[in-house]
Amino acid sequence: MNVLVTGGAGYIGSTLIPALLDNGYKVKCLDRLFFGRESLNQTASNPNFELMKDDVRWFDPSILTDVDVVIDLAALSNDPSGELDPAKTLDINYLGRVRVAKLSKGCGVERYILASSCSVYGFQEGTLDENSPVYPLTTYAKANIMAERAVLPLSDSRFTVTVLRLATVYGLSGRMRFDLAINGIVLGLYKTGKIPVMRDGTQWRPFIHVKDAAKAFITTIESAPDKVNGQIFNVGSNDQNYQIHPLAELIGKSVGVPFEIEWYGSPDKRSYKVSFNKIKNMLNFTPNYTAREGAVEVYNALKEGKVTDSLKTKTVEWYKYLLEAHALAKEVSLRDTVL
């Protein structure tokens, strides 16, 4: 079976693609490579892997002609990144992904899986499931909902469409990110002995290890079409819903080094506790990893020098750098032309 992964060089994709290859799939990766291609170095020589540097907004549809499944991960990822240029976020995260879905259907692709986010729930009390109202507070979350609502009606007996709303992801990846809650907590603990916690610490978030996120996509591919077609699934586990302050304490104690809590920012406007009963009951999906295990994994990798933090590991900071570098290049080009 041939799988196309858009955004496959990113945090989730660089974990998902090796897992797909290990499971016997042939994989194409389409990515702009804003963060480079190093995250896929381990798969580069695999004969069943092909990397294409391109953009979901204008790639040639011919690459879809022999594809059975599309996993659409390409997006400007996370809420702060989405606010750098809201128009561009909507262009990529909404219109770009709708283009991928429509082209997939037109080219005879059998399955399309959209990577969405539990951030669409915004700020709500209680435990939320797939039938709960959404309350997107950011451009990133709004683009996810717009994409969901545009691609789900494309489903029919020959084109299986599934939406996976992922919990906040953590853990080691080929394209490491320290702008994600658990990974960022661990980095602060490692570097300073202080755990950064956004005020007021009572906000709820669901979490999932990046390997379990990859497992969810593969589970969806391998599930019968009638179980997943036209469906939305929250992806995570009920026991990994955490309030941020208790989570920070849990991570500090799990790593086993002295720590202090370092408060920052204004009170978080996002808080959501999510039910994952549907994916467990319908697809028999349960995560393998816990937040405790993921935190220890990341801390040990930092201590052993297997990963380091850099500008590229903070998504919004890297995007800012690219935007500033692009603006500078345009300024230099214009000045040279005038001169």
Q: How far apart are CA 213 and CA 215, in angstroms?
A: 5
Q: What is the pLDDT of residues 68-81, one digit of tens each?
A: 999 999 999 888 88
Q: What is the pTM of this model?
A: 0.95
Q: How far apart are CA 43 and CA 332, in angstroms?
A: 38
**The pair of three-digit structure tokens given for residue 319, joined into one six-digit string:** 């995007």
The angle formed by the CA atoms of residues 291, 140 and 270, to the nearest 5 degrees, is: 55
Residue where the block lists tokens 């709820």: 204
Whether 334 shows a pLDDT value over 80: the answer reads: no
* Cβ(262)–Cβ(196) below 8 Å: yes
Whether 171 shows a pLDDT value over 60: the answer reads: yes
Residues β-bridged to residue 208: 169
Instruction: Give the Å distances, CA to CA, from 109 to 67, 93, 122, 158.
Output: 6, 20, 33, 9
**DSSP-derived pairing of the beta strands 69-72 and 49-53:** unpaired
Q: How far apart are CA 190 and CA 300, in angstroms?
A: 9
Q: What is the pLDDT of residues 3-59, one digit of tens each?
A: 999 999 999 999 999 999 999 999 999 999 999 999 999 999 999 999 999 999 999
Q: What is the pLDDT of residues 180-223, one digit of tens each?
A: 999 999 999 999 999 999 999 999 999 999 999 999 999 999 99
Confidence of residue 328 (pLDDT cuts 50, 70, 90): very low
Q: Which pLDDT score is estimated for 329?
A: 56
Beta carbons within 8 Å of 303's beta carbon, 6+ residues apart: 190
Can you give the length of the chain in residues? 339
- Average pLDDT of the chain? 94
Residue where the block lists tokens 């002995």: 193
Task: Match domain 2-316 to its CATH number in 3.40.50.720, 3.30.2130.10, 3.40.718.10, 3.40.50.12500.
Answer: 3.40.50.720
Residues β-bridged to residue 195: 261
Q: Which pLDDT score is estimated for 311?
A: 93
